[in-house]
Structure 1
Amino acid sequence: MVTVEDSRPQDLTHLHPVARELAKLPAEERLHRIRADRWIGYPKAMDAVERLGVLFRWPRKQRMPNLLLVGPTNNGKSMIVERFRRTHPSVTGPDGENIPVVCMQMPSEPSELRFYTAILSAIGAPFRPHLRLPEAERLALSLLRAVGVQMLVIDEFHNVLAGRGEKRREFLNLLRFLGNDLRIPLVGVGTREAYLAVRSDDQLENRFEPFILPLWEVGDECRSLLASFAASFPLHSRSLIDTEDMARYLLARSEGTIGELARLLTAAAVAAVESGEERINHRTLAMADYIGPSERRKVFEKQLL
């Protein structure tokens, strides 16, 4: 609950133009905007989006290039993919729906049937339950062509490792077949284990170029990221969080992933509005409703005892 009266600051030059307008809203509306997802176009993310664009525009040929977007959990991979997908939205025309970028999730237990069923779900295709594999394959491939797919993004790609022995080889063969048959680039998204899955197959390793999103470290790029975050929250006063000391403190609490960092800063921005502090600083960071990943695990494990 907001406990202070809203002020109407005159100087909002510390904010991005969109955030300046949001800063003029009542506190409750600002809190709603603060809690919403936000895109921060830091250089590595923009490079990834650009690389996806290059693949998207690649001329169709027998052996298409693929990309493997790899990074720790909660380090911005899904946000990058969603940003790219929104720049290539689905369009409904007189000839039906066109879905240039299809995003799906790798089944937790990879099998060919579950994979094709996941594709059908991703494009919103109706299908009867208990499809057999040949039917599911024909339907998925024909519908992918019908919607004009130009790129298939497979999230949770590391789930390939859940398969064992011959099952895993069959599934990796399926991925090779899919790229060859549709002549579209495939984009795998996952953790380090996704790269291990690709490395287990020489032909796939040659086709999937890894793009790494490492944990964040203190430096100029991190300070620039923090400055962008500070300018995006509609707070009435400047948040001086782009210093080396603050970067070290924030990365220690968030454990180096951009998802956790965003969660921490969002909680601090909420505390800044509710307390009337109107800036992110050590006081509002201490007030923030946030517990880091390791501490969350400890609390959970303690509750299980």
Structure 2
Amino acid sequence: MDEFPAIDLSHLLPAAQGLARLPVAERIQRIRADRWIGYPRAVEALNRLETLFAWPSKQRMPNLLLVGPTNNGKSMIIEKFRRTHPTTSRDDQEHIPVLCVQMPSEPSVTRFYVALLVAMGAPLRPRQRLPEMEQLALSLLRRVGVRMLVIDELHNVLAGNSVSRREFLNLLRFLGNELRVPLVGVGTREAYLAIRSDDQLENRFEPVMLPLWEANDDCYSLLASFAASFPLRRSSPIATPDMARYLLTRSEGTIGELAHLLIAAAVAAAESGEEAINHRTLSMTDYAGPSERRRQFERELM
């Protein structure tokens, strides 16, 4: 371990206090690791998912639509929930209470059933007809005990033509009625537009929004949580209105970009010996926000 005099690490969470005594290289590995920050909207979304998960089976099940900009924490919320209800195995039989599947980039009913079968680890036969795939998928979904079906990247349904969109929306209704389990759609605003185009589905899917972040109390709390989780040996003064506005401007308001920026600054703080996220270490990062990255790429194409 690095040698350093006994210092006050009370600005860190208990788990991070121990990590702060590790060598720089090990601390950087911990800084770059995924971390869960339970901010209010994420906790609300998890609570809604738990309520749905415990819902008694009936013909018309309630569903949920988790909507927000790209890179704003939707997938992390779903992954957190999935880990709470993990896949188990008993007597050579898998039990998958929460099945997550990604909407194909070129949406069709056939490709979606293929994605479902792959997610359950089912062997695929060549040239399998749609009715056979449908019956196999339904049989396996029941056999593995799926209690919630999560469809990520649901906005991809709009990539299809009007016929394929209608077929897939009909499929959602069919799966909900047939399986009697809640469906959870995850995607951008376009996912909401796709569901809203069908009156019956719109009434079944309750939207939960994850908007862009603003400099408010929730944001200050989020920044304080990040600062307390990074194993840095000095306090990081980032949970302030001025710093929040600066960070949100650079990251363009999504939690994913904000995390990338803060991680880059924390790494710079550890490497430089500054040991805190501040304007100095933030200026050391090579982080570029989404718009800046696009401009850089467009300049290189010219």
| TM bucket normalised to smaller | over 0.9
Deviations 1:141-168 (A, max 9, x none): 1111110000000000001111212221
- RMSD between superposed Cα atoms in Å: 1.0
TM-superposed CA distance for 1:81, in Å, is: 0.2
**What is the distance in 2 between the residues matched to 1:202 and 1:290?**
43
**What is the distance in 2 between the residues matched to 1:50 and 1:24?**
36
Q: How many residues in Structure 1 have an aligned counterpart in Structure 2?
A: 301
Question: 2:261 is matched with which residue: 260, 264, 279?
Answer: 264
**What is the distance in 2 between the residues matched to 1:203 and 1:160?**
17
Distance change >3 Å, CA 266–CA 6, structure 1 → 2: farther
Whether 1:105 aligns to 2:102 is yes
Secondary structure in structure 2 of the residue aligned to 1:188: strand
Q: Which runs of 5+ in 2 are unaligned?
A: none
- AA of the residue aligned to 1:93: R
Secondary structure in structure 2 of the residue aligned to 1:238: coil
**What is the distance in 1 between the residues matched to 2:45 and 2:5?**
39
Question: 2:54 is matched with which residue: 50, 57, 80?
Answer: 57
Distance change >3 Å, CA 133–CA 6, structure 1 → 2: farther
TM-superposed CA distance for 1:45, in Å, is: 0.3
Distance change >3 Å, CA 178–CA 76, structure 1 → 2: same
Q: How does 1:75-90 map to 2 (within 5 A)?
A: 75-90=72-87
Residue 278 of structure 1 corresponds to which residue in structure 2? 275
Distance change >3 Å, CA 8–CA 39, structure 1 → 2: farther
TM-superposed CA distance for 1:136, in Å, is: 1.1
TM-superposed CA distance for 1:9, in Å, is: 4.3
Moved over 4 A (4+): none
Residue 148 of structure 1 corresponds to which residue in structure 2? 145
**What is the distance in 2 between the residues matched to 1:167 and 1:192?**
19
Secondary structure in structure 1 of the residue aligned to 2:173: helix
Q: How does 1:1-305 map to 2 (within 5 A)?
A: 7=4, 9-94=6-91, 96-305=93-302
**What is the distance in 1 between the residues matched to 2:164 and 2:266?**
48
Residues 9 and 236, structure 1, Cα contact 8 Å, conserved in 2 = no
TM-score between the two structures when normalised by the length of structure 2: 0.98
Deviations 1:162-209 (A, max 9, x none): 121222111100000001000000000000000000010000000000
- AA of the residue aligned to 1:178: L
Secondary structure in structure 2 of the residue aligned to 1:20: helix
- AA of the residue aligned to 1:36: A
Residues 70 and 211, structure 1, Cα contact 8 Å, conserved in 2 = yes
Q: Which runs of 5+ in 1 are unaligned?
A: none
- Provide the identity percentage: 73
**What is the distance in 2 between the residues matched to 1:236 and 1:132?**
61
